Amino acid sequence: MSVVREMHPTPDVAKGVEYWEGVPATVDGVLGGYGNGTLPRVDALGSRMFLLRTLPYLSSTPPAALNQSPSEWKAMRVSQRGGQGVTLTRALDAGAGVGRVTEHVLLPLVDEVHLVEPVHKFLAEAKRKSLGWAPLQQTVDTSPFHARKAVYFHQSTLQGFPLADPMSADDTTFELVPPTYMHDEAVDAPKAPVVYDIVLCQWCLQHLSEADLIHFLKEAKSTLRQPDASQSCDGGVVFIKENVCQDTPDGGETCWYDPEDHSVTRSRRVYERIFAEAGLSVVRTELQLGFPSELFDVQMCVLYTYKTRWALR
């Protein structure tokens, strides 16, 4: 008996980018007309709660049961993090659009975010709006861990982006080069190899072929922060929030090609196989509730590589 491997439809990268170039550079544009209702708020809250439960060391809220005062706890955490004015925790926003996820999900949680987005006008809009992003209004004195917040804008596809050395990506960009440091020009740009606490992919992996996606996930895996007991840090994660279509009734893989934006929507089974092929395990997964019923299911999951994860036991 021979086993025939099913061939899935594959996205067209260039045509995908071309499609997005024709979309207005607004939250409503990147969310396909769902930007003005409750969806963006429900979405961002869902992601933030999910990430905080998974990475409690990013939370600046003192534990409920505490043998010290909240201010003593904060002082201890600031000192564990290396003192005032430090930029320590970092995230990548993959296919960042106009910066919606960076503003509402990532910047409240981490010190530094790298946005990767191929469409120039989206990135330009993100950069323009970033001047008003609340977490960037905080100074070292007012930010929860007295951290120094920073944002970098990279114009690139995920296929072409060097995760471990983000500052080297910018020969391929224009106008927005060099990436902008938001607060304090005197601070050095991050040096390679960088590590991430969160590599976040939302609504953009449909533009990567299977081979590209596996390659990207392997790269992401090699750049995650290692666990560090002295920081109560369980190590970085890849966070994925994507549309999924139904597996076949007998649990088989399916993919759905969208001729409009030249992307591919995958079923859970397909994603699970791809994650396994990249050497990542799913440690937590949840369906996003509260979205309009006509949409695809939107599944959140966290992928992780290290064996010991005390917080998730």
Residues contributing to the site for ligand SAH (CB under 6 A): 13, 16-17, 20, 30, 95-97, 100-101, 117-119, 122, 157-159, 202-204, 207
Task: Tell me how far, at minimum, the Cβ of 43 lies from ligand SAH, in Å.
Answer: 8
Task: Tell me how far, at minimum, the Cβ of 172 lies from ligand SAH, in Å.
Answer: 12
Cβ proximity of 242 and 202 under 8 Å:
yes
54 vs 202 by CB, closer to ligand SAH: 202
- In this structure, what DSSP letter does residue 102 have? I
Cβ proximity of 162 and 168 under 8 Å:
yes
Tokens of 239: 């966070």
78 vs 136 by CB, closer to ligand SAH: 136
Task: Tell me how far, at minimum, the Cβ of 78 lies from ligand SAH, in Å.
Answer: 31
What's the Rg (C-alpha) of the chain? 19
103 vs 234 by CB, closer to ligand SAH: 103
Task: Tell me how far, at minimum, the Cβ of 112 lies from ligand SAH, in Å.
Answer: 18
The amino acid at residue 134 is A
Give the integer Cα–Cα distance in Å for 118 and 137: 26
31 vs 182 by CB, closer to ligand SAH: 31
SS3 content of the chain, % helix, strand, coil (to 5): 35, 20, 45
Nearest to residue 150, comparing CAs of 117, 122, 118, 110?
A: 110
17 vs 245 by CB, closer to ligand SAH: 17
Task: Tell me how far, at minimum, the Cβ of 185 lies from ligand SAH, in Å.
Answer: 28
